[in-house]
Amino acid sequence: MILIVLIMVPTISLFSKFENYILFSPEGYEVTVRETQQEGNVFDYPIERKSTNIFLQLEKNNYVYKTHIVKFDRLRDLQTFWYSFVSHHSSALNSAITAIPLLYGEFNTLTDDELILSCWYDGISRVFYVIEGREKGVVDDLKFRLKRFN
């Protein structure tokens, strides 16, 4: 009985941690859109496998910042998405050198619209994060707050 409880507690905490991101409301920002969906798109890039996608649109300094937090059911799907997403915004070489396979990846670039795109993933929790916005300091602040949230 104790073994079952020890196995269930970490599993439950992983799921509840992800679901708490829907409540993410950092001080100094106005959350204007808050959505969850199964599968869908990340900035017009499709998520091909079963996943849960939390989308937040925040405003600060009269600029809009968009955030997707995506929980993948399988680590392999997360890794495949990472390589495709980064290749789409850069190159296949960058997608390979920006990740420690199955553990962690981080990538930053400018979009065609001159917006800052910052993304990373955590293989242990199978979660992909991406922030898009105008000011680097604000994007970095949101990234810091998301990493420390929960």
Does residue 61 surpass a pLDDT of 90?
yes
H helix runs in 21-105, sequence order: 75-89, 92-97
Identify whether the C-beta of residue 68 lies closer than 8 Å to the C-beta of residue 55.
yes
Q: In the prediction, which pLDDT does 4 show?
A: 36
Across the chain, what does the average pLDDT equal?
88
Q: How far is the CA of 67 from the CAs of 32, 36, 93, 101, in angstroms?
A: 12, 12, 25, 23
Q: What's the predicted TM-score (pTM) here? A: 0.86
Complete domains list, the chain, with CATH: 2-148 (3.40.1000.20)
Q: In whole angstroms, what is the distance from residue 2 CA to residue 25 CA? A: 37
Structure tokens at 13: 């905490």
3-state secondary structure of 83: helix
* Rg of the chain, C-alpha, whole Å: 16
Q: What percentage of the chain reaches a pLDDT higher than 70? A: 88
Q: pLDDT tens digits, residue range 67-83?
A: 999 999 999 999 999 99
| Residues contacting residue 101 through CB under 8 Å, at least 6 positions apart | 79
